[in-house]
Amino acid sequence: MQNPFPANMSSYVAGQIAKLEDEQRRQAEITAAYAASDIFAGIDGTGVFNNQQYQLEFQNSFVNRIFREWNTPAKFYRRGPSIDGVATANLAFAAFEHVYKLYSQKNGRPKRIFLAGYSRGGAAATKVCDLLQDRGVPVHGLFLFDAVDRAMLITPGFIPKNVEYCFHARRDPRSNSRNSFGSYGTKAHRDTTVYRERFFYCTHGGMGGVPWLHADPDGYINEAENINLGKPIIQNPVLRSLALTNPATAGLVISDHLARQGNNAYRAAGRTNVTLQQDKAGSAEVGQWMFAALRELRKDNATAHVPTS
């Protein structure tokens, strides 16, 4: 019977190892060639108007982290809109102009576009895809962190067809977090876009990498801050009297009792079913899933293993 093993097993093993190492080097070179010209643009979530305070609160958001860790200079980041959301459309157009300019530059290398957005920033990032589609430009990866479109932005009803892969991390409705926001970017053309979504048990803030740091006395997070209806008139007797003498302003004055009732109703509506520990854990799971998907997509198409769930 013929011996199935090579005469010199050590030489054979060394040769196989060398082949494997050569293949690994080749794949690394391919990945590096792609990554060297990858373009990223990210638009963060809704936050306070003050830029310094916003920067402090969103310094570790997922979109901000992707931007900071992006290993090429071809990247773009903007803070999200303030509470009124009026800047959402402008953010989309600014990101589009930056990405399209980079994509149009000729350097002989294949270029891939990656976009990410959180909350209203997710709607803006999807609009960027729509604008790029009008120019015939493909988007390799779109990463949405609990996207919403409360600003009635002129965004497409579906993920645009030029998006090859879309990953959407969404909040679990059972968390009772920002349910009034609804969701956006949940529909895709299955014949052109690989769409993957997962639900996570955390707050809307946790979905974007900014989990809450304080909760109500019973341990559950309340997303409604205390409000003071009628301020500053209620706290100033002179202004109250002046306001009541003018029919045009009298309607602005409400009693302390009604103000407390309004505040209590507002806070009751902001109650979630999520504890601080659950929010932190759920947020970490969001980051693990999305960053793993991003790493895979940045590999060469032939070697990438796209997560199925």
The tens digit of pLDDT for each residue in 81-138 reads 876 656 788 999 999 999 999 999 877 667 899 999 999 999 999 999 999 999 999 9
pLDDT of residue 2 exceeding 60? no
Q: In the predicted model, what is the mean pLDDT of residues 176-195?
A: 89
Mean pLDDT of 163-186: 91
Task: Answer yes or no: is pLDDT of 75 > 90.
Answer: yes
What would the two tokens of residue 69 be? 């860790």
- Residue 152 has a pLDDT of 58
What's the rounded Cα separation, in Å, for the pair 65 and 232? 40
Q: Rounded distance, CA 163 to CA 227, Å?
A: 42
pLDDT of residue 63: 99
Task: Look at residue 237 and tell me whether its pLDDT is greater than 70.
Answer: no
Provide the residue type at 18 as one letter. A
SS3 for 225?
Answer: coil
Q: Is the pLDDT of residue 301 over 60?
A: no
For residues 44 and 257, the model is more confident at: 44
Q: Identify the DSSP state of 143.
A: E
Which of these, 39, 281, 283, lies nearest to 142 by C-alpha position? 39
CA atoms of 234 and 298, how far apart (whole Å): 57
Distance separating alpha carbons of residues 240 and 135, to the nearest angstrom: 58
Considering the entire predicted model, what is its pTM?
A: 0.77
pLDDT score recorded for residue 235: 45
Evaluate if residue 192 carries a pLDDT over 70: yes
pLDDT on residue 86: 65
User: What DSSP element (H or E) covers 277?
Assistant: helix 276-297
Domain 17-211+275-297 maps to which CATH number in 3.40.1170, 1.10.3470, 3.40.50, 1.10.10? 3.40.50
Contact 74, 112 (CB under 8 A): no
What's the Rg (C-alpha) of the chain? 25
Residue 299 — very low, low, confident or very high, per pLDDT cuts 50/70/90?
confident
If you average pLDDT over every residue of the chain, what do you get? 83
**Domain extents for the chain?**
17-211+275-297, 224-269
